[in-house]
């Protein structure tokens, strides 16, 4: 399988598997990002609220991998959605990341306190200024996706959302496909819950893979889906990357889809989460 996918309806390829840095302390970022890049990862995901953009920038510099060879994503936090605040915050992120641009800039969560039209217009302004190659959203429902797309002069290329075998995201995927948006999956291993799952274990045994590798393969084998995985263990980073040398059968894909349950959502912070799609 190709290690990259088309990003939305653009000419850009996005690596199908990325390293996420959510809740990753700075020292671990400085250790893990160069290691991941040495393994072969070329997609790094961070955010303003993670508090580690400076370490991500330093780690990329220290890695020896050329900046144009890395697909770098960051996200604007919800308290900076007013137009001038958003522009200043992106400038701050770029300084911390030691780069003139990010490949992808996302709105981290919906914020009904600020008109979405104002925030999306600012997002477009950042892209027009060359500070972001592409723009998108995160944790948006299908209705919010449609509204954001309708307000944006430039294509919104992804919605980054929680997605793993225990959470059915077909509505988001279908809505994204209609809007030419890729889905970026976070919490792809369900906070480690996939480990020990008997269905994933049995499938993995057929392929000589573990449950985490099967779950990640299931994600990236779906059209228009890319996945993020986060670990502070070098061996796990390597293991998670070794998912491009096998393929799940249609029956195996279906069996994993059937693991979804109504209480499968893990991330729904009070005060941030929208009213999710059923």
Residue 177 belongs to domain spanning: 4-257
272 found inside a domain = no
88 found inside a domain = yes
Domains contained in the chain, number: 1
250 found inside a domain = yes
CA neighbours within 13 Å on the CB side: how many for 121?
8
263 found inside a domain = no
Tell me the C-alpha to C-alpha distance, in Å, between residue 128 and each of 70, 118, 230, 275.
Answer: 21, 15, 31, 31
223 found inside a domain = yes
Give the DSSP H or E segment for 138.
strand 132-138
Give the global pTM. 0.97
Q: What is the CATH number of the domain that holds 126?
A: 3.20.20.100
CA-to-CA distance for 193 and 173, rounded, in angstroms? 22
206 found inside a domain = yes
- Contact in structure between 239 and 212 (CB atoms under 8 Å): yes
CA-to-CA distance for 124 and 136, rounded, in angstroms? 10
**pLDDT, position 73:** 98
Is 81 catalytic? The answer is: no
**pLDDT, position 273:** 97
- Contact in structure between 112 and 147 (CB atoms under 8 Å): no
- Range 148-156 contact pairs with CB under 8 angstroms and sequence separation of 24 or more: 148/107, 148/116, 148/120, 149/179, 149/181, 151/116, 151/117, 151/120, 151/121, 152/120, 152/123, 152/124, 153/124, 154/124, 154/127, 154/128, 155/8, 155/9, 155/10, 155/180, 156/8, 156/181
**pLDDT, position 278:** 83
Q: Report how far Cα 86 is from the mean position of its chain's Cα atoms.
A: 20
Straight-line distance from the first to the last Cα atom of the chain, in angstroms, rounded to the nearest whole number: 32
- Contact in structure between 131 and 100 (CB atoms under 8 Å): yes
266 found inside a domain = no
In the set 41, 50, 101, 166, the catalytic residue is: 50
95 found inside a domain = yes
- Contact in structure between 58 and 89 (CB atoms under 8 Å): no
CA-to-CA distance for 15 and 128, rounded, in angstroms? 24
pLDDT tens over the chain, length 278 residues:
689 999 999 999 999 999 999 999 999 999 999 999 999 999 999 999 999 999 999 999 999 999 999 999 999 999 999 999 999 999 999 999 999 999 999 999 999 999 999 999 999 999 999 999 999 999 999 999 999 999 999 999 999 999 999 999 999 999 999 999 999 999 999 999 999 999 999 999 999 999 999 999 999 999 999 999 999 999 999 999 999 999 999 999 999 999 999 999 999 999 999 999 98
């Amino acid at each position: 399988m190709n290690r990259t996918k088309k990003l939305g309806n653009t000419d850009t390829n996005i690596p199908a598997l990325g390293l996420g840095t959510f809740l990753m302390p700075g020292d671990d970022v400085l250790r893990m990002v160069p290691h991941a890049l040495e393994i072969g990862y070329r997609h790094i995901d961070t955010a303003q609220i993670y508090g580690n953009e400076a370490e991500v920038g330093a780690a990329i510099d220290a890695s020896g991998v050329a900046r144009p060879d890395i697909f770098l994503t960051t996200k604007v936090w919800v308290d900076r959605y007013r137009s001038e605040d958003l522009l200043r915050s992106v400038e701050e992120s770029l300084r911390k990341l030691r780069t003139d641009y990010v490949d992808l800039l996302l709105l981290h969560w919906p914020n009904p306190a600020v008109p979405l039209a104002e925030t999306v217009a600012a997002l477009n302004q950042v892209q027009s200024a060359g500070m972001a190659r592409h723009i998108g959203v995160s944790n948006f429902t299908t209705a919010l996706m449609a509204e954001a797309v309708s307000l944006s002069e430039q294509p919104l290329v992804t919605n980054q959302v929680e997605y793993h075998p225990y959470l059915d995201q077909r509505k988001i995927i279908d809505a994204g496909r209609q809007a030419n948006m890729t889905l970026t999956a976070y919490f792809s291993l369900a906070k480690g819950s996939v480990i020990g799952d008997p269905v994933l274990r049995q499938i993995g045994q057929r392929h000589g893979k573990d449950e985490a590798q099967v779950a990640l393969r299931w994600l990236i084998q779906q059209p228009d889906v890319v996945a993020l995985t986060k670990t502070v263990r070098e061996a796990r980073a390597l293991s998670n990357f070794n998912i491009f040398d096998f393929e799940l059968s249609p029956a195996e894909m279906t069996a994993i889809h059937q693991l979804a349950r109504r209480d499968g959502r893990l991330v729904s912070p009070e005060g941030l989460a929208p009213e999710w799609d059923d």
